[in-house]
Structure 1
Amino acid sequence: MTTGASASQGAAFDAAFRHPTRLTVAAFLSACDEAEFATVRDYCQVSDSVLSKAASALEAAGYLGIRKGAAGKRFRAWLCLTDDGRDALARHLEALQALASAARDAGAARAESEPSRSAAQPNA
């Protein structure tokens, strides 16, 4: 995707959040200390394998911690966003917001400089 210079200046898009599942996992975990794997999976509406792959990618980036253990007789895993992950997510979301704001501003400026289509063409 190509963006204008004003939209990309200072942008801190993070490739770790390019995949929607990874972004959703990070956003969900940003609101809690940790969450059980199954809770995150259910929220994201993905399979175990898709969440496992997303969690592994975020863990490799240093953005996610995975704690494993037993709860009763069942094996469980808990996921948490690291401090680096929280910072990276905040920067990524700021970059997305800057991109959206720049696009809205550009659209508004263009609309002001062009005659309105609805004024030029009567309703059919």
Structure 2
Amino acid sequence: MDNLDPLLHQPLRTQIAAFLAGCEEASFSELKRNLQVSDGNLESHLKKLIAADYVSLRRSEGPGRAQTSYSLTPTGLAALQRYIQTLQKLLPLGTQPAADLPGDMVAGS
């Protein structure tokens, strides 16, 4: 059996990747609000995902405060898809694994 990706096996990192897979990009504030985590916890996990090239960041300058947005990279999306497929292999027979996922969350669709 395939091994679960240790980077994504941490629940908050899985949540970050899944949230970003569902949107083009999100600000730090949006991630914090939707995932209900502290600044330090979110920042720590984002740094690990960025170091692995699973997440990219974009800083935009403008009037007032600079904004940082995060998005899932193609590498991160592929890793998330593999992670989901590996979890699906662990499901008991007779369940409906991939059919219930959005098409863009299943590799090869």
| Same-fold status (TM-score > 0.5) | yes
RMSD of aligned residue pairs (Cα, Å): 1.2
Count of residues paired in the alignment: 93
Asked if residue 35 in structure 1 is aligned to residue 35 in structure 2, the reply is: no
Structure 1 outlier segments of 4+, above 2 Å: 69-72
In 1, the alpha carbon distance for the partners of 2:63 and 2:9 equals 36
Any stretches of 5+ residues in structure 2 without a counterpart?
94-109
Q: Secondary structure at the match of 2:22?
A: coil
Q: TM-score, normalised by structure 2?
A: 0.79
Deviation readout 1:74-118 (Å, 9 max, x if unpaired): 12210000000000000001111111x2xx34xxxxxxxxxxxxx
Task: Give the % identical residues.
Answer: 33
Query: How far did residue 72 of structure 1 move?
Result: 2.5
Any stretches of 5+ residues in structure 1 without a counterpart?
1-8, 106-124
> Higher helix fraction: Structure 1 or Structure 2?
1
